[in-house]
A and B are shown apart, each in its own frame.
Chain A
Amino acid sequence: MLRLEPRSAPSNLMVYLSPLLAMILMLVVGMIVFTILGQPPFKAFHAFFIEPINDWYGFGELLIKASPLALIALGLAVGFRANVWNIGAEGQLTMGAIAAGGVTLWLQDSTSAWILLPLMFIAGAIGGMLWASIPAFLRTRFNTSEILVSLMLVYVANLILSWLIHGPWRDPDGYGFPQSKMFEANALLPILIEGTRVHAGVLLTLVALVLAAVFFRWSLTAFQMRVAGLAPKAALYAGFKQRKTVWFGLLAGGAAAGLAGTAEIAGPIGQLLMPISPGYGFAAIIVAFVGRLHPVGIALASLLMALLYLGGESAQMQLGLPAAVSGVFQGMLLFFLLATDVLIQFRVRWISKTSTEAAS
């Protein structure tokens, strides 16, 4: 029979190669799936992975989709490195967007873009952090699971948004439809590349990538949090504060998600409506892990993840494949990553029946 045994020393090289391996496995199995669906695999591959980005507009779409994914994944990685599991970035994104949207609706008629946009982003970050502070408080005070609390708050955040756009913030000229007024030009992020939708929010993500890289590499806090994640007892012995780790981990995720939400409503959406995000907060969890919680990895993983979204649409249009194909690819990617990770930590050994019997 097969048995998993822990390896004495996991290969360092394989830790970085496994995402690549997972990607290749995903592609191979994907080809098989295409074939079973009755599609010529290479044509399907082209429609899925090349077609969506073979012009500037498509490439721009890749960037604006990868941008919130990378930004949120960076924030989450801060916590994940310290074993702080914030699963509710989707809700923090929504609360950030609500805060920023509130500022916009309040001030857009009286304030110039130079003041309004920064205010929106500050409000967005605070909104996300406030929402993340609830699981942080409950975890540090009552030792509740931040996984459950943060996840459940996603639904609460959506209900708050729903109430606002059905009630007080509903566009008075919108025939009663549940959405806010369209934002004025001074509340919208400038477009970076003519003819695309690439907005200045992408720059924000680039800055965040650099800052995160510096933070992870050189900051003492990041080191303490890493130790807390890898060896909690050692961290305790060294006198690192666990509370601080939890708070910092959750607030970083909340702030990043809030900023991402703000960039969405000030970028491609341009108003408050339901839903603000097509699941960025959840997909970013996959991005963080595929990216090995490292800024460079996260940047690459976010591009891949964005391509999977775009490819799903393209495959529907070009080949008439069902929308679920995108989900299948995302699922396979995570599945193969987890599988290869198991093999980094463990090795498979074939143990003959007689020896197991002898052992028992």
Chain B
Amino acid sequence: MKKTLFAQRFKTLASSLLLASTLGLAGTAAAEDPLKVGFIYVSPIGDAGWTYQHDLGRKAIEEKFGDKIQVKYVESVPEGAEAERVTREMASSGSKLIFGTSFGFMNPMLKVAKTFPDTHFEHATGYKTEANLGNYNARFYEGRYLSGIVAGSMTKTKTLGYVAAFPIPEVVMGINAFTRGAQSVNPDIKVKVIWVNSWFDPGREREAAVTLMDQDADVITHHTDSTAVVIAAEEKGKYAIAYHSDMSKYGPKAQLTAVTHHWEKFYIDQVQQALDKTWKPTSIWGGVKEGMIDIAPLNAVVPKEVAEKVEKAKAALADGSLHPFAGPVLDQDGKETVAAGSNMTDEVLLKMDYYVKGVDGKLPK
């Protein structure tokens, strides 16, 4: 609250200075109107997690473009009927570039995009496009693969734990990439998964984490939005790999690394293009190479050889010589889904609905 208050005051001060300076200029030349940019978030910004990472991108464009743009955001917008109104309000109050950062905003944004042809829309994690609607997403699975190498090197029980939200391709892809990363170190490693059926439910995430640790998992990770899993690992003296944000302050001993999202460059590029009037709708799926996905600094307990191995793999991902789903890819029953010598295509990846070899249990359908 304090932070917000301070930020608010600061903004008031900044805007009044701004006003004073534009008043000074008004006589000489009509300053160009700032580009209005809007962000629609599905959850509160908080201090770690999915929305927090996007908000870092918002702050980055504010810092970079200063008074050339005017940025607004709305947090905690539910998917469904609400999203359409908020998007529309943003557009009709003059925003010319609007980012919506949740899958469920896709159809509402599409509807609004059709009635505001001069406004640019960018939707995260969806698949539909329109003349003025682009989409963007990150290759989360690349970071998962790297973190899998770390987990695979640090486990003593050869059992890893994974707290997962919903069995959709994006999440399944992450579990599989993590497993393959760990198995690149030791093919005997197993990954146990618990589904909590929620993106954000600290209570259930924690419970799932504790269950996994009781079942012998000594490195756990999560594809959910809270810090509960990292905190639980810290308390139990086990290791954790965080997701979305670096959560080392919640688990200074537990966090080995974190798979982190970085949207700053993407947002800066989009705003720049909108200012240059060169914006076009694109479908961007960026990974380690584009800097959209990275891992947080490794914990001091991780040996140097492991760090070097991870560094090498990261470089290989960036130059394309390594693909987390390079054939042969075997599913749980040992059936080959990608032949040796070829990589899984993006199209197949986006529809992934099976576990690879090494994941324990059955994927809920």
Q: What is the interface of chain A, defined by CB distance below 8 A to chain B?
A: 37-39, 57-58, 61, 64, 159, 162, 166-167, 175-179, 182, 197, 264, 267-271, 273-276, 278, 310, 313-314, 316-317, 320-324
Contacts and interface: CB of A to CB of B under 8 A. Distances in A.
A352 B48 CA distance: 53
A264 B84 CA distance: 13
A275 B79 contact: yes
Contacts of B350: 175
Nearest to A314: B89
B297 interface: no
A321 B5 CA distance: 9
B168 interface: yes
B337 to A, nearest CB: 16
B123 to A, nearest CB: 13
26 contacts: A38-B12, A39-B8, A57-B92, A159-B197, A175-B127, A175-B169, A176-B169, A177-B103, A178-B166, A178-B168, A197-B85, A268-B81, A269-B81, A273-B79, A273-B80, A273-B104, A274-B104, A278-B78, A278-B82, A313-B74, A313-B85, A314-B89, A316-B74, A316-B75, A317-B93, A323-B44
Nearest to B115: A195
Contacts of B9: 38
Contacts of B86: 313
Contacts of B103: 177
4 A-B pairs closest in CB distance:
A268-B81, A323-B76, A176-B169, A278-B78
Contacts of B75: 316, 322-323
B89 A176 contact: no
B323 interface: no
B121 to A, nearest CB: 16
B332 interface: no
A322 B72 CA distance: 12
Nearest to A162: B197
Contacts of A267: 81
Contacts of B82: 278
B73 interface: yes
A131 B74 CA distance: 34
A317 B39 CA distance: 10
B177 interface: no
A74 to B, nearest CB: 20
Nearest to A167: B365
Nearest to B364: A166
Given A38-B12, A323-B74, 4 more contacts: A38-B5, A177-B103, A274-B104, A323-B75
B64 interface: no
B353 interface: yes
A178 B199 CA distance: 13
Contacts of B73: 316, 320
B104 A179 contact: yes
B96 interface: no
Interface in B86-109: 86, 88-90, 92-93, 103-104, 107
A42 B150 CA distance: 56
Contact of A270 (B78, B107, B127): B107
Contacts of B38: 317
Contacts of B11: 320
Contact of A37 (B8, B78, B353): B8
B74 A317 contact: yes
Nearest to B11: A320
Contacts of A38: 5, 8-9, 12
B117 to A, nearest CB: 15
Nearest to B72: A317
Contact of A166 (B74, B104, B166): B166
Interface string B49-86: 00000000000000000000000111111111110111
Contacts of A61: 85
Contacts of B328: none
A176 B168 CA distance: 6
A275 B89 CA distance: 21
A39 B8 CA distance: 8
B88 A57 contact: yes
Nearest to B85: A61
A176 B352 CA distance: 8
Contacts of B353: 176
A41 B166 CA distance: 43
Interface in B7-58: 8-9, 11-12, 38, 44
Nearest to B88: A57
